[in-house]
Amino acid sequence: MDQLSQFRSPAGAAAYFELGRNALDEGKTTGGLMDYDSRFKRHGPAAEQTFLTWLATAPEDNKAGDLKAAMIGMQLKEIGGEAALVELAKLTSSAHPNVAKTAQEISDEIQRKIDQEKKNEAQARADDETTPTPISPDVKLAVMARTLDDEFRHDPEGTRKKYNGQLIEVVGDLSSIRYTFQGKTSYTLMTNAGPMSMSFLCYGTQALHSKQFVPGQRVVIKGRADLEGMLSLKEAQIIDAKGPEPIEVTSEALVQEFADPEKIAAASKKYAGRWLLVTGKIKELQGNNNHASLVTGVDREVQLSLIEIPEAQQKALQVGQTIVFLGRFDKYDPYQVEVELDNCVLVARPAGP
């Protein structure tokens, strides 16, 4: 099998993928498509074309066909580019509902990624020509995250002399909200070329995240530069933010938007990639309290991943508590009949028993 991963021709890629496809057709839970796709993606355009071909030629109008289409869609959303959009446009008029629906969903996601990449490139060019002005009276030095990252990569010693130990402001796009090992909030910014090597650590500040700051916003982070090992800020806090605010919703209201099968696609598009501020009551806890489902009052569920929150917060969770949290909309799963949210972090202490 490893030898097949070296193929770069469409025929070689197709043959390799066919092995995974056959295993999937046989209903195997191991040795199937997921065991092949990591190597298969190395085939680049050949892999993309084979996924498109499979989508066009596997149109069973049943649950098995829906599952295959969904799996193909998952892969193409990740690796597909502008070339795939041309072929997908043809498939959106397919007589088979699962093919047409999947093709449209893939097209929407690929286009969203392309638009975001162009936006990032434009922002990067603007950032290269920007020198921000501090907004805090006790700060004398402000810098773009992209600029600071570039300076540190090219001249780490000079950058340490310039910034280390100083109270500074860093401006950039927030890409993640997490916690330190000490259970305090932390943030990571983007340089528009990928995640920074810079983590903004909030030592001794907050144990809960603020409900108004979410990834995707342009933020100003204030903190004391600590550049001894890597780029970081101590005692960091977000002091300003611009951009999309989280959508505030209850768990009951969220699942109702997916109640009508005819409106699921529209609801999925509305929430795709968005951060939500959700209030809900814990129905069930799974694992080591790092996954939970919320009460919705109907047979549809809200499932959330809590692996990002500190262990102490996980242990304190109990069934019946009302929680308020930020989470990123991942997807609506029609087979499990549930809305799935990931990267969830608490913004208030749980209330109730």
Q: For the residues of 175-223, what is the DSSP string, one character each?
A: EEEEE-TTS-EEEEEE-SSSEEEEEEE-TTS-SS--TT--TTSEEEEEE
Which tokens belong to 352? 């109730």
Task: Find residue 98's DSSP bridge partners.
Answer: none
Q: Are 196 and 143 in contact (CB under 8 A)?
A: no
Q: What is the pLDDT of residue 5?
A: 44
Q: CB count, 10 Å around CB of 184?
A: 18
Q: What is the pLDDT of residue 242?
A: 92
CB within 8 A of 105, min separation 6: which ones?
73, 77, 265, 268
Report CA torsion sign: 76, 77, 81, 84. positive
Q: What is the pLDDT of residue 2?
A: 39
Q: What is the pLDDT of residue 269?
A: 86
Alpha-carbon distance values, 47 to 9, 71, 165, 191, 281 (Å): 9, 14, 49, 30, 43
Q: What is the pLDDT of residue 234?
A: 85
Per residue in 47-94, pLDDT (tens digit) is 677 777 777 776 566 666 666 676 677 777 777 788 888 888 888 888
Q: What is the pLDDT of residue 99?
A: 81
Angle value at C-alpha 304, between 110 and 299, nearest 5 degrees: 100
Q: What is the pLDDT of residue 42?
A: 55
Could you tell me which of 49, 113, 58 has the C-alpha nearest to residue 86?
A: 49
Q: Is 140 helix (H, G, I), strand (E, B) or coil?
A: coil
Q: What is the mean pLDDT of each run of 10 residues along the chain (353 residues)?
A: 43 54 48 49 64 70 65 74 85 82 85 79 70 93 87 89 93 86 82 50 68 92 86 87 94 92 87 94 92 92 92 93 95 83 93 84
Which domains occur in the chain, in start order?
Answer: 3-121 (no CATH), 130-242 (2.40.50.140), 247-346 (2.40.50.140)
Per residue in 3-49, pLDDT (tens digit) is 444 444 545 545 555 555 555 444 444 444 445 555 555 555 666 77
